[in-house]
Structure 1
Amino acid sequence: MKFKKLLTAALALVIAGTATACSSNKTSQSGNGYTPKTLNVQFVPSVQGSHLADRVKPLEGLLKKELGIPVHVSVSTSNTALVEALASKKVDVGFIGGDTYVLAHQKKAADVLLRAMNEGYDEPSGKPNGQKMSHYRSMIVVKKGSKIKSWKDLKGKKIAVQSPSSTSGYVAPVGELYSKGLNIPKQTRMVQIQGHDQAILSVYNGDVDAAAVFADARNLAAKDEPKVMTGVKPIYFTKWLPNDTVSVRTDMSQKFRKKLATAFKKIIKTKKGKDVLFHIYNHLGYVNAKDSDFDIVRKYQKLANEATK
C-alpha cells in the first residue's frame, strides 16, 4: 500500500506536467539575459550517494577557476526539491535525470544544457568496452536459470522497480512493455527497491523474480557480489534513452550558458575534474543537448501514465 500511494503521488506530478504539450516550451531557451554573480549548483543523491556532499565539494573550486565567480555546490533532498529550487530561481544549475528534466522543462523551470557521457558496455554481457556513450537503455533482468525467458513470462511475477520518477527503473520499462501488451503495475507483483544495484542483488539472491534497471547496473552490484555479472542476465532491453543532464534555469543568458558548457567540458578533461565528476555520477564527458533529445522519455511517460489508469 505504501508503494501504491507513492506511485500515485509521483505519477500525479508527471500527469500534470504531461498535460502541457512539450512543443509549447521549446522557445524557453532564448533566455532573458540572467548572468549569475554567484553560481548555485545542486545535485540529487545517486545510487552511491551516501557521501555525495563530500564528493561534490571540490567542484566549487574547479568551476570558480573557469567562470571567475563564486560557486556554491549542494545536495538536494530529492528530484522534486531540485525542480522546485530551479523553478524558484534558488538554484542555477541542476544535475538531473531525463524524467526529472522533462518535468522541470514542462514546469518552465529548466532547459537542458548538456548530456553526460558514461562508460560504454557490451550487450548482453554488460562488460565495459572502453567507449563513451551519451545514451543508454533500460533492461529487465532475471536470475540465471530462471524459467522467465522473455517479457511475456513476467505476468504474475515479482518484479523490482525504482521510484516512479526513475526513467530506466520505472518509466521506460513500464511504458514500453505496456505498448507491447504487459501492464507491469497491474499484471505483476511490483515492489520498490531503492537503488539499481540493490535491485540486481535482490534478483541474484532470489528475493524477486526480475528487476527493471539501467543497463548495465550489474557493474555496480558486482562491487559487492562479482558473480552477478554471470548470475544475473538481461531478457529485455528498451529503446535507447538520453543520459542524465546538466540543466539550467530558463532565464540564463545564452552567453553564460555557452561559458558554463565550455567550463564543464574543460574541467572533466583534467585529472582532478575527471576524478570528481566520475565519483559523483560516473560521468566521463559531456555533449551538447537539446530538448527534443527527450521526446522518447515523454512518450514513455505517457504510456506509463496510461498503464496506471
Structure 2
Amino acid sequence: MGKWLAAVAVAALVAACGGGDDDGEPDGGGNGDGGADAATGGDDDGAREGWPDELTLVFTPSSEAQQLVEDAGPLAEMLAERLGVDVQPFVATDYAGVIVALEAGQASIAGGLGPQQMVQAENQAGAELILQSERFGDVQYVTQWFTNNPDTYCQNDPVDVDGFLFCNGVEDATGPGDGPIGEEAISEVAGTSVAFVDQGSASGHLVPSLQLFEAGIDPENGVEAIFAGGHDNAVLAVYRGDAEVGVSFNDARGDVVDQAADVGEQVVVFAWSPPIPNDGFAVAGDLPEDLKQAITDALVDIADTDEGREVLNELYNIEDLVPVDSSAYDPIRRLVEELGQLLDQ
C-alpha cells in the first residue's frame, strides 16, 4: 500500500538533503571531452557556424530561489563543457519572467518549465520544446491538496506511509494515473485560506483552480488565496498555519523536511488531481538547428551520468530527461482555454 507515494516522498527528502553518490563521479564516458565531442560533433568549425560565444540558461523558481541558484551553476558548467560555449545560469524572479526572458532574447535555454510554461514558451516566445522530465519512470504528476486540519477534509483517519500522512484513498495510489482521488473533499475548501504556488504554475494554481470551479467554488473570490512563490513555500505556509489548505506537486513535503522534520505528520494530503504532463526544457527558436540538437544531446548525456543525475535531482527532483512531443501538453492548452471561459462568465 502506497509504495509509490513513499518512494516519491523519500526521494524528495534525499534531494532536499543533498543526496547522491559520495564521490560525485560520472558513470562511464558521458562526461569530459568525450561528451563535448559527442554534443558538438568534434572540432569541425563548420558544425559551429552561427553559434554564439555565450548562452544564457534560465530556471523556473519553483522552489527556494537561493538553493536553485546554487544548484544551477553545476548544470551550466556541464553544458558548457559539452558544447564548448560559455553558459551563464540565472533564476527568474517568477514563472512569467522565464517566458519574458525567452521572448526578449535574454535566454537561449530554459529549464524546469512547468506545463503551462512549456505551452507559453512555444506559443508566446517561439521556443522549441526539446525534453521532458521523468520521475519514477513516469512523465506525469499530479496536484496534491494538503491541510493542517484533517478533521475537516479527511473522511478516514490519516494513514502513515513512511512518515507522511494521507487520507481519502490517496494512501493507496500507485502513480499519477490513479488521479483524481478525494476530489469530493475540495468542496470543503470554500471560504478558507489556500496557499497556491504561482499564477503560472499548472499544479500550483491552474489545475486546482479548475478543480475548485468543478466543486462549485470561484477560485478568485471563493477562497482566500495566498501565493507562496514556490511549491516548498506552499507546504511551509500550511505547516506554519498561514493557510489551512495548500496545493503543490506530489510530494513537495519531502523538499522541506530539512526545515520542518515533522512536516509529514503535520501536513496531511487529502486529494489528488487528474494526471498532469511533467515539466521540461526548451530552447530559443532562433538558435541554429545544429546548436539546438547539440543542447538536447548534451542534456541527455548529462542525465545519463551519476554526477548529472545528482545535479538534476537537486534542481527539480529529475531522474531522467526524455524526448517530448508538443502534443503532450494539449491537456494544458484545453485547461487554460476552459479556465478562461469560466473566468469570463
TM range (shorter): 0.7 to 0.9
Secondary structure, aligned partner of 2:56: strand
Shift of the 261–184 alpha-carbon distance from structure 1 to 2, 3 Å rule, reads same
Counterpart position of 2:139: 134
Counterpart position of 2:75: 59
> Contact conserved, 1:37 with 1:70, CA < 8 A, in 2?
no
Counterpart position of 1:167: 202
Shift of the 291–156 alpha-carbon distance from structure 1 to 2, 3 Å rule, reads same
- Separation of aligned partners in 1, 2:86 and 2:335: 39
Q: Does 1:201 align with 2:218?
A: no
> Shift in Å at residue 271 of structure 1?
2.7
Q: CA RMSD in A?
A: 2.4
Q: Deviation per CA, 1:86-129, whole angstroms, max 9, x where unpaired?
A: 223332111122212222222143121111123xxxxxxxxxxx
Counterpart position of 1:74: 90
> Shift in Å at residue 71 of structure 1?
2.6
Q: Deviation per CA, 1:186-218, whole angstroms, max 9, x where unpaired?
A: 222222223322322332343322112111111
Counterpart position of 1:299: 334
Counterpart position of 1:214: 249
> Contact conserved, 1:179 with 1:303, CA < 8 A, in 2?
no
Q: Deviation per CA, 1:112-167, whole angstroms, max 9, x where unpaired?
A: 1111123xxxxxxxxxxxx3432210121122532124012112222221221111
Secondary structure, aligned partner of 2:100: helix
Pick from 210, 223, 229 the counterpart of residue 258 of structure 2.
223
Counterpart position of 2:128: 111
Counterpart position of 2:168: none
- Separation of aligned partners in 1, 2:204 and 2:49: 35
Q: Deviation per CA, 1:7-61, whole angstroms, max 9, x where unpaired?
A: xxxxxxxxxxxxxxxxxxxxxxxxxx99533333222334122143332222333
> Contact conserved, 1:67 with 1:260, CA < 8 A, in 2?
yes
> Which consecutive unaligned segments of at least 5 residues does structure 2 have?
1-47, 155-184
Shift of the 144–132 alpha-carbon distance from structure 1 to 2, 3 Å rule, reads farther
Pick from 213, 217, 222 the counterpart of residue 182 of structure 1.
217
Counterpart position of 1:13: none
Shift of the 35–45 alpha-carbon distance from structure 1 to 2, 3 Å rule, reads farther
Pick from 280, 298, 315 the counterpart of residue 245 of structure 1.
280
1:74 maps to a residue whose letter is F
- State the aligned residue count: 265
Q: Deviation per CA, 1:242-294, whole angstroms, max 9, x where unpaired?
A: 22211011233444333322211111222322232222222221011121111
Secondary structure, aligned partner of 1:278: helix
Secondary structure, aligned partner of 1:182: coil
Pick from 114, 119, 136 the counterpart of residue 97 of structure 1.
114
Pick from 90, 104, 109 the counterpart of residue 88 of structure 1.
104
- Separation of aligned partners in 2, 1:191 and 1:81: 20
Q: Does 1:287 align with 2:337?
A: no
> Contact conserved, 1:199 with 1:213, CA < 8 A, in 2?
yes
Counterpart position of 1:122: none
> Contact conserved, 1:176 with 1:303, CA < 8 A, in 2?
no
> Contact conserved, 2:187 with 2:215, CA < 8 A, in 1?
no
> Contact conserved, 1:175 with 1:301, CA < 8 A, in 2?
no
Larger radius of gyration: 2
> Shift in Å at residue 180 of structure 1?
4.5
- Separation of aligned partners in 1, 2:63 and 2:244: 21
Question: So what's the TM-score if we normalise by structure 1?
Answer: 0.76
> Which consecutive unaligned segments of at least 5 residues does structure 1 have?
1-32, 119-130
Counterpart position of 1:128: none
Secondary structure, aligned partner of 1:133: coil
Shift of the 35–114 alpha-carbon distance from structure 1 to 2, 3 Å rule, reads farther
Shift of the 91–180 alpha-carbon distance from structure 1 to 2, 3 Å rule, reads same
| Percent identity (aligned) | 23
